Structure 1
Amino acid sequence: MQMKEQAGRIKSWNDDKGFGFIQPATGGAEVFAHISAMRGDRRPNSGDHVLFIAGRDERGRMRAEHLRLAGELSIDQPQIRVKPRAAAPDRKPRPAPKPRSRTAREPQAALRNPLAKLIIFAGLCGLPLIGSLRWLTGLQSFWPLLLYPVASVLCFFLYWSDKSSAKKGGQRIPENTLHLVELAGGWPGALLAQQAFRHKTRKGSYQALFWFIVALHQLFWVDQLLLNGAYTGNWLRGLS
């Protein structure tokens, strides 16, 4: 049975010895945490908000079986679990650098290769926009031109809400709900939200289905614009 993550805060941490104690967000007794259970790209510090899976050691005492920083999705670096070298006796130890907050890092991450991402985004939106305008003028149907922006705004809000819940350890929005709104035309908003919030970008299974949905939309408009609905025409007539 998969154990559920709990939210908490590092109440105390001895980095030289590689252990500390977590105060669960729900209250109750403190939970022992050892650096060997830590996953992420840096060691924890006192005051950090974390997500952990609680367990018990051989003597029945509470301890964290798995530990990571709350809201931080990063590639695990095994070297963070290595005991830091002691400072030379004739040198004054340097103070540990202040960890940058998640909010301080996110804007920089969201701005990586902005021009390339803008070109890709515009290219992906090109076919749906041209197709929606063609439907508006030729078929007198405004639904695609209405669905894409409305669903995108809704999807952007859902991503923001899910990201906020992930940081606070609250109730998450089901991934199927996000994918359903993306399929309904909200994938442009989802793509913007993924970059703006750095959310759902590192989960391979989620990204695979997301890009499958984007590809479906592109293929639909290729058929409508270039092949005169040879493959999707009968399906659309069946819906009408």
Structure 2
Amino acid sequence: MAIAIGNAQEPTSHFLRLPIELRRNVYSLLLPSTISQPSQAHTNTLWRRGCISLLQVSHNFYEECADMLYSTNTFEIDIKYDSIKFHYSWLTHSGLKPKILYPFPSNRFQRNIQRIRHFVINVEHVDSYQGMIKYNCGGSGLTAGVQGQVRDFVQQIRTSRNFGRIVIRLSDGNKALNDIRRVKVHCIEREKNTEVTQSVLDPFRDLKDVRWAKVGGSVTPEYATEIERAMLRAT
């Protein structure tokens, strides 16, 4: 099917006369899209690269393509003590999975944040030892800093009232240190700190009307259930 890009801004564009369902089918073949990995729940979200030049054709094209690009795909967000980043990872023809981290929100997202419905959110709360190395901060200050970033993120997206799937994963930092922490003393310390570190997810209680929510990682089952129920609750 020819899309007649040169005439797309004209009211007589043949493509824009097609039913919206058919136009969306065409867009789905051309625009970037996330790849479903149902059997790999803890892997990063992967994108299939596509053509975003369609958004520059005309106002009608922009509105329809932006709505589909942002509302149907899953956006992975990395939240740390010092940053909030959009985790963009794509699959190459050779099977490689390169990634780029973009500040979130930025100019590329600001206009369309309310369109985003699906999130995978990775929240990192390192221990005080790693916190002093990475951020020169530890203890309650480290927890407050991570929670502040989570709160800022929630404030940015909470205006959306049409959330679909939201997955939240809390990690405790560098996986390479997990073997060291398996000794009894460190395990006891981690159990005592879990209730404190998981509190960084408290701002997610302010998200409402989420269709499907899942909280996992370094949290207790009871706390995960509380956050999930709060997010599923209607306003």
Normalised to the residue count of structure 2, the TM-score between the two structures is 0.25
Normalised to the residue count of structure 1, the TM-score between the two structures is 0.25
User: Which protein is richer in strand relative to its size?
Assistant: 2
Q: Which has the larger radius of gyration?
A: 1
